[in-house]
Amino acid sequence: MTKRDIVLKISEACGVKQTVVKRIVQGTFDAILESLQRGERVEIRNFGVFFLKKRKKKIGRNPKTGEVVPIPERMVVVFKPGLKMKPSSQVPL
């Protein structure tokens, strides 16, 4: 499913113009991104949590040459699904 599919589905369900829904969906994504850039945790109840996690620096290898390449420490976005997202949960979708 793409962002366009989401916009179409919401537009049909709510009877609102696609351009309005598109701005709302994009605004939601932008707000999540801005919060993560500030280092904040984003929790959407019954859906999941987005947060930043630090990956340690490590030593990698170039598979072609075998040369040792240092991989620096970095922050990555992690998503932890909520109860309704987990396939093993007994909560119906």
Q: What are the domain boundaries of the chain?
A: 1-39, 41-87
In this structure, which topology does domain 41-87 adopt according to CATH?
HU Protein; Chain A (4.10.520)
What is the model's pLDDT at position 46?
87
Please answer whether residues 20 and 32 qualify as being in contact, where contact means their C-beta atoms are separated by less than 8 angstroms.
Answer: no
pLDDT at 15: 95
H/E element, 14: helix 3-14
Q: Is pLDDT of 92 > 80? A: no
Q: How far is the C-alpha of 80 from the C-alpha of 50, rounded, in Å?
A: 7
pLDDT band, residue 84 (cuts 50/70/90): confident
Phi, psi of 59 (to 5 degrees): -105, 125
User: Regarding predicted confidence, which is higher, 30 or 83?
Assistant: 30
> Please, which pLDDT band fits residue 17 given cuts at 50, 70 and 90?
very high
